[in-house]
Amino acid sequence: MQSLNISSSALRGIQLALDNSANNMSNMDTVGYKRRVASFSELLVDSMTEQPATDRENRNSPVGLRIGSGARLGMTKLDMGQGSMKQTDVPTDLMIQGEGYFRLGSQELDANGARVEEFRFTRNGSFHLEESAYFGGFVLVGSNGHVLLNESDTPIVLPTDEVRELVVSDDGFLTVNGEPTFERVGVWKVHNPDMLKQVGDNLFSIGENVNIDPGAPLALEEIYESAWTDNLASVRQGALEASNVNMQEEMTQLINIQRAYQLNSRAIGISDQMMSIATSIRTR
C-alpha cells in the first residue's frame, strides 16, 4: 500500500534529521562550529484526473487528486550565524567577526606516498606558535596540526629567534616584538557555503561537486575571495568564537522529530491492520 511507502520514507528522513540534531548538540562546546539545519523535500507526486466536472468548477488548485509518495531529507544547510565571543586573553587565539574563514594548509601523503598540499577552511581560531626548521621561523598552527595561511595562500612565517610579544590588529596584520612583519592573516569569504564539505576536526574542503560542468570549471575567485576586500570581516585577538548551536532550538527540534516518528510509526501500524483486514476478507 502507498501509505507504507510514504511512512517508511518519512522514517528514513526523520532518522537523518535526528542524527543531524545529535551532531549539533554534541558540538555545542566546539570552537567555531556551525550548526546544520535539516530541510525536507517532497518526493514524486501522482495526479489522478478521474473526477466529475462539477468538482472542477471554480477550482484554484490543479485539476485532479494529488497523491504523494512521501518526503525525504533534501539537504542539511550550514547556518553561518555568528557565535558568541569567548574571551581567552591568549595572544595566539583569533576570532573572526563577520563573514569568512581561516585557511589552513598541510602536506599529506597520497596513496603513492607522494606529498600533496592540502587546504582547509575553518572558523576555529585556536592556534599556537610552533618553531619550524622547514619554514625557517615560527608558524601559527591549529589544534589539528595545520598551518595558518596568509592572504597570499602561503604559511605565515615569523622569522625570529624568539617571540616575546605577538600583536594582531583588527585588519589581520601581525606585529612581533614591536616590529611589523607585513604578514596578514588570510580570511576568506566562500560565495556559497553549501559547497563546503565537512572533512572532520571542524574543517571544510571545497566539495567535489563544485565544477558541475567539467568543460567550464569555476575559477578560484568564483568560489572564494578575500574577506578583506570589502571589509566583510575583522579579527579579534585573545578571543575565540563559540559554537552557534542553541540548546533550546535543538531540544524543540528533538521533540518535533519524536512526534513525527510517533505519527509515522502509528501510520505504519494502521496500514498493517488495514492490510490484515483486507487479506482476511479476501480469503473467506
Give the whole-angstrom CA distance, residue 118 versus residue 104.
8
Q: What is the DSSP letter of 263?
A: H
Confidence at residue 138, expressed as pLDDT on a 0 to 100 scale: 93
CB 49 within 8 A of CB 63: yes
* 270 φ/ψ sector (left φ>0, alpha ψ -120 to 50, else beta): alpha
The pTM assigned to this predicted structure is 0.78
CB 166 within 8 A of CB 183: no
CB 45 within 8 A of CB 67: yes
Confidence at residue 73, expressed as pLDDT on a 0 to 100 scale: 80
Q: What is the DSSP letter of 49?
A: -
All three cell numbers of 151: 592572504
* 78 SS3 class: strand
Contacts of residue 253, defined as CB under 8 A and 6 or more positions apart, other chains included, come to 17, 21
Give the whole-angstrom CA distance, residue 202 versus residue 49.
51
Q: What is the mean pLDDT of each run of 10 residues along the chain (284 residues)?
A: 77 89 92 89 68 62 69 82 93 94 80 73 94 90 91 90 92 92 92 85 74 53 84 94 93 92 88 85 70
Give the whole-angstrom CA distance, residue 30 versus residue 28.
6
Confidence at residue 24, expressed as pLDDT on a 0 to 100 scale: 93
Give the whole-angstrom CA distance, residue 190 versus residue 251.
30
Give the whole-angstrom CA distance, residue 18 versus residue 22.
6
User: Around 108, how many Cα atoms within 13 Å sit in the side-chain half-sphere?
Assistant: 11
User: What are the start-end ranges of the H helices in the chain?
Assistant: 2-26, 220-223, 247-282
Which residue from 19, 20, 12 is spatially nearest to 79, judged by alpha carbons? 20
CB 268 within 8 A of CB 7: yes
H or E segment and range at residue 74:
strand 71-78
- Burial of 121 (C-beta count, 10 Å sphere; 0-12/13-18/19+): buried
SS (H, E, C) 100-148: CEEEEEEEEECCCCCEEEEEEEECCCEEEEEEECCCCEEEEEECCCCEE
Rounded-to-5 percentages of helix, strand, coil across the chain: 25, 40, 35
